[in-house]
Each structure stands twice: as structure tokens, then as C-alpha cells.
Amino acid sequence: MTETGSADLDRLLQGKVALVTGAGQGIGRGMALALGKAGAALAIADLDGGRATSVVEELRTIGVDAEPFTCDVGDRGQVEATVAAIIDRFGRFDILVNNAQASRVGIRFEDTRDEDLHLAFNSGTWGTFYCMRAAFPHLRDAGNGRIINLASSSSTHGRPLHAAYAAAKEAIRGLTKVAANEWGVHGITVNVICPNAVTPAGEKFAREHPEAAQAALMQRAIRRRGDAEHDIGATVVFLAGPGAGFITGQTLHVNGGGVTVP
Ligand SMILES: NC(=O)c1ccc[n+]([C@@H]2O[C@H](COP(=O)([O-])OP(=O)(O)OC[C@H]3O[C@@H](n4cnc5c(N)ncnc54)[C@H](O)[C@@H]3O)[C@@H](O)[C@H]2O)c1
């Protein structure tokens, strides 16, 4: 068993305000816990308001200042209202983590429907774009703004049966690289994480495609699945912190390595 990292990095992010989208469960929840333990105040946005509220209750229990927002990130008006509400509630905005994503996977390319692309792009690509555009002036004003977008090695490696998902995620990497080059002058860094972690979505995929899931695990250099808080969250805390201010436009695979496996 290999060790996981520690996300509790001496309250490195004290005084910062972070928004994590799709943080009602899974990797989003884990990243929110890590950011909160590192000292940040948290805006928790999710399409499912009940999930957002329960993560906020969890954060408040451990002393983190947090607020839930019910928000479909694929809806420009809802995103703009959420960002305005974050400024009202917290007075500043430093860290944006674009994590929300819905998709149907496990579909052959030729069977992929228009709706599959719309679902993946609305929640992933449009959601990331709307959040980045709305957050930009606040991150610029705060100084040392940080944006971390979630993509996937399924997109960077072109994993079979993931056409709509991969297309949406590669578009997010395009947005990331352009914003990094435009906004670096304001001290804002923009990076991508391609994670692997045990989550409800991952468990569902493993149940539906057990052989593919086992094969993926066996080809991973570090033969375990990641931990949302202690592996992915710890990386986000680093990228959001002062030690990562010279890293931008990059894609970081936080997935236990491996040669061929997404
Ligand atoms: N789980 C993995 O191992 C893995 C691997 C590669 C990439 N990723 C990426 O990491 C991120 C998190 O993955 P996860 O497995 O925790 O996902 P998940 O499906 O478990 O959780 C996603 C959350 O996003 C919310 N959401 C969906 N559509 C939304 C919308 N339009 N607006 C607001 N919220 C919305 C859902 O309600 C849910 O709470 C995603 O971007 C995913 O593509 C995950």
C-alpha cells in the first residue's frame, strides 16, 4: 500500500475564497475538504442543492466557512448569479475549481447521439467557460488568482467509448491554455488536473464495466485508485497555493501513472 499525500498544509490558503463546482460528491467534495482544511473559505456549487448543502454542513462541522449554491453551470445566468452571490457573501474570490461534469460514457463512437455531446459540453465545457469568464475580474482584483480545471486522461489518450466526454474535456484544455496565456499578466494561473479517484461515478462505471475497470487498475503504475481528498485535493491545494505561482497552462495527470491506460 502506498502512502497518500497530506492535504492539511498548515492553512496555506488562509484568507482565500474558493468555488468548487459539482462539489456535492466525489472528487469535488474531496477537493473542497482539502481546500477548507488548508484554510480557504468555500462556495460549494452543485446542480443538486441537497448534495451541496450536506457538503457545506460537513465543512462547517470541521470549522470551515462555507456556503451552498444550487447552480447548473451550463446556464450562464445561474453562473453569473452565483459568482455575484459569492462576492456578496465572502467579499472576494481567489480560487476557481471547475469540476462539474455530466456525461454518458461506454457508447461506441458511431452510436454517440447529439444529446450525448450536448450533455457533456453543457456541463463541462460551457460550465467551465461561463465560470472562468464570470470569475475573471474578481480573480484579477484579488491578485494571484488560481483556476484549476478538471479534464481526464480519457481525453488526452482518446479512450474508446468516451467520444462525447473526451471532446468536452479536450475543449476545456483548450480554454485553459488560452486563458493561461492571456491572464498570466494579471498573476492568474490556469491549469488542468486529470484525476483518478474512487467516486460514485467511478464505482458505477466499474460495476457496469468490471473487466475494463480491473484492466485499468492493473495497468496503473501505482496499483490503487486515488483518494479524492488526499491525492486530488492535495494537488489542488498545491496548485492553489503560493508555491505554484510559476506553473500555468499545464496538464497534470494525478492518476497513479501507467503507460497506456487513461
Ligand atoms: N472519478 C474519476 O476517477 C475521474 C477520472 C477522470 C476525470 N474525472 C473528472 O473529475 C471530475 C469529478 O468527477 P467525479 O467522478 O467526482 O464526478 P461525479 O459524477 O461523482 O460528481 C459530479 C458532480 O457534478 C454535479 N454536476 C453535474 N452536472 C452539473 C451541472 N451542470 N452543474 C453543476 N453541477 C453539476 C453532479 O450533481 C455531481 O455532484 C469531473 O470533471 C470528471 O470528469 C473523474
pLDDT tens, 84-142? 999 999 999 999 999 999 999 999 999 999 999 999 999 999 999 999 999 999 999 99
pLDDT band at residue 200, thresholds of 50, 70 and 90? confident
Identified catalytic residue from 130, 165, 183, 238? 165
pLDDT tens, 151-169? 999 999 999 999 999 999 9
pLDDT tens, 227-250? 999 999 999 999 999 999 999 999
Grid coordinates of 129:
467557460
pLDDT band at residue 219, thresholds of 50, 70 and 90? confident
Model confidence at 257: pLDDT above 80: yes
Q: Is 34 helix (H, G, I), strand (E, B) or coil?
A: helix
Average pLDDT over residues 78-86: 98
For ligand 1, is residue 199 a contact (CB within 6 Å)? yes
Q: Which atom of ligand 1 is nearest to the CA of 200?
A: 20
For ligand 1, is residue 97 a contact (CB within 6 Å)? no
- Tell me, what's the pLDDT at 222? 95
Catalytic, 130? Answer no
- Tell me, what's the pLDDT at 259? 65
Pocket mutation for ligand 1, best pick of 19, 27, 98 (most atoms within 8 Å of C-beta): 27
- Tell me, what's the pLDDT at 251? 98
- How far apart are the CA of 21 and the centre of ligand 1, in A? 9
In 3D space, the residue among 211, 209, 206, 252 whose CA is nearest the CA of residue 225 turns out to be 206
Radius of gyration of the chain (CA): 17
- How far apart are the CA of 187 and the centre of ligand 1, in A? 28
pLDDT over 70 for what percent of the chain? 95
For ligand 1, is residue 197 a contact (CB within 6 Å)? yes
- Tell me, what's the pLDDT at 10? 67
Taking CA atoms, 220 is separated from 54, 105, 152, 216, in Å, by: 33, 21, 15, 6
For ligand 1, is residue 31 a contact (CB within 6 Å)? no
pTM of the model: 0.95
Mean of all residue pLDDT scores within the chain: 94
Residue nearest to atom 13 of ligand 1 (CA): 27
- Tell me, what's the pLDDT at 215? 87
For ligand 1, is residue 28 a contact (CB within 6 Å)? yes
Q: Which atom of ligand 1 is nearest to the CA of 169?
A: 43
For ligand 1, is residue 195 a contact (CB within 6 Å)? yes
Model confidence at 17: pLDDT above 90: yes
For ligand 1, is residue 8 a contact (CB within 6 Å)? no
- How far apart are the CA of 205 and the centre of ligand 1, in A? 13
For ligand 1, is residue 30 a contact (CB within 6 Å)? no
Residue 117 near residue 167 (C-beta atoms within 8 A) = yes
Q: Kindly tell me the sign of the dihedral angle through the C-alpha atoms of 114, 117, 122, 125.
A: negative
- How far apart are the CA of 185 and the centre of ligand 1, in A? 30
- How far apart are the CA of 117 and the centre of ligand 1, in A? 16
Residue 21 near residue 99 (C-beta atoms within 8 A) = yes
- How far apart are the CA of 49 and the centre of ligand 1, in A? 15
Average pLDDT over residues 51-69: 98
Average pLDDT over residues 210-219: 87
